[in-house]
Amino acid sequence: MSTATDHLRPEPDEVDLRQPGLPPVARLATLTLALVVAGGIWMAAHYGHHATLVPAVALAVAGGLVLLVNVALLWRIPSFAWDVFFRVFGWALLAYLVIAGILEYVFIFDHTPSPQLTLFSVMLALFAVNVPMLLAFSVARYQPVPG
Amino acid sequence: MADTAVTETAVAESAVMETVVAETTGADRAVGVGAGAPDPGASPPEAQGGPPPPLEFSIVPVRGLPIVAVLLIGLIVAIGTNNLWALTFFHVGGGGLWTSIDLFLGLIIGPILGRLSIPARVEFTVRFMPKMLLIMPTLVAMTLGAGFQLARHLGNLDANYPHHGWLVASYIIVGVMAVIALGLLEPANLAVLFELKKPRPNGERIGRLMKIFVYTAGITGIMQIATILIMTFLASR
């Protein structure tokens, strides 16, 4: 058996030539998450009384746009471990739909007014799609590309 | 000068990590041919022969899923019945465990892990990380779901609540923690597990991702202290 010192050599990710060429999917997904969370904080802080929804709508729209740009960038990656991506995405989507479903249940159960409920639902949908995409990309980017 | 020394140490440690990961998976026998297409980021071949068997472990511990299901059903029942004790149990119990695990991981386990031998780190990671994949999202769902309902039940969500500002401050802290946990911590957790599943895991990559995991757990743990301060303040009013 070889010893550890026999193999002392740098093998950083920089030698993985795929990494620098990948679009900033993880960063954009984190930005989407931050926008959705900020919108959720605004909504929760003004829950139960009449306050303008404009900031929350703006944050949700911005989060949705960043998500769309991110999906487009992801789709354009020429060579990617899509099998791993969709496997992780599918299971993570199931898990986050359960979490988002529980939160949606709370809002419906509490008779949240329609405008707020709609906005909460949109934000939860963005959350439930964005996080699995981030997780799937974070795994698939390091996987060998078939073929 | 110090930076160079640190870099050299990190490079050497990464290489050792990589080698030991390979040895743990039996890669000292052969690393020439991967099961799929070559991974540019993986360790180079050391010898001729077939691929080593990947580490045997489950990324999602299936045996833990029924426990998660029971807890989530309990949470839904607690919300549905608006039972004060059940909501307090899920919120305080979940939040306490979430905080404790974050602090324990970031401030106690993290530094110990950094001083363990590399094979011990790999052994620990393989057994520990899959469990975290189930535990943390469950605790977060319990704490936040029950917490929102509890606050509504007690009238704390009302803007007229005298300490509403403190509650909003706690939302902001939890929001920042959620972005850190979901944006950095959990992707690192999952990426480490998939890397360890490879016939030839990249030790440098695992080391880097584990650092992200431990540091972000520590940061969220410290932020949890602020949450505890606010929550105990509100509970005592």
Looking at the partner chain, which of B37, B158, B190 has a beta carbon nearest the beta carbon of A146?
B37
Establish if B42 belongs to a structural domain: no
Taking the CA of residue B13 and the nearest CA in chain A, the distance in Å comes to: 8
Establish if B94 belongs to a structural domain: yes
- Looking at the complex, does the CB of residue B168 fall below 8 Å from at least one CB of chain A? yes
Q: Burial code of A119-137, b = ≥16 C-beta within 10 A, e = fewer?
A: bbbbbbbbbbbbbbbbbbb
Structural domain range at position B165: 54-235
Residue A69 has pLDDT above 50, yes or no: yes
- Residue B128: half-sphere exposure toward Cβ, Cα within 13 Å: 16
What's the number of domains chain B is made of?
1
**Local structure of B31: helix, strand or coil:** coil
CB contact under 8 A, A26 and B158: no
pLDDT at B4: 38
* Positions of chain B with pLDDT lower than 70, given as ranges: 1-55
pLDDT at A16: 64
Taking the CA of residue A133 and the nearest CA in chain B, the distance in Å comes to: 10
pLDDT, greater one: B200 or A104: A104
Q: Mean pLDDT across the stretch A31-54?
A: 88
Establish if B43 belongs to a structural domain: no
Establish if B49 belongs to a structural domain: no
Q: Mean pLDDT across the stretch A64-86?
A: 93
Whole-angstrom distance, CA of residue A136 vs CA of residue B28: 30
pLDDT at A57: 95
Q: Where do the structural domains in chain A lie, given as residue ranges?
A: 23-140
Establish if B16 belongs to a structural domain: no
Band (pLDDT 50/70/90 cuts) for residue A11 is very low
Establish if B229 belongs to a structural domain: yes
Task: Tell me what percent of the residues of chain A surpass a pLDDT of 70.
Answer: 86
Taking the CA of residue A1 and the nearest CA in chain B, the distance in Å comes to: 6
How far does chain A reach from its first CA to its final CA, in angstroms? 32
Asked if residues B146 and B78 have their Cβ atoms less than 8 Å apart, the reply is yes
Establish if B22 belongs to a structural domain: no
Establish if B40 belongs to a structural domain: no
Residues from chain B that touch A6, judged by Cβ atoms under 8 A, are 19
pLDDT at B52: 59
Asked if residues A104 and A121 have their Cβ atoms less than 8 Å apart, the reply is yes
pLDDT at B17: 47
Whole-angstrom distance, CA of residue B33 vs CA of residue B138: 39
pLDDT at B73: 93
Q: Mean pLDDT across the stretch A36-59?
A: 88
Q: What is the pTM of this model?
A: 0.76
- Looking at the complex, does the CB of residue B149 fall below 8 Å from at least one CB of chain A? yes
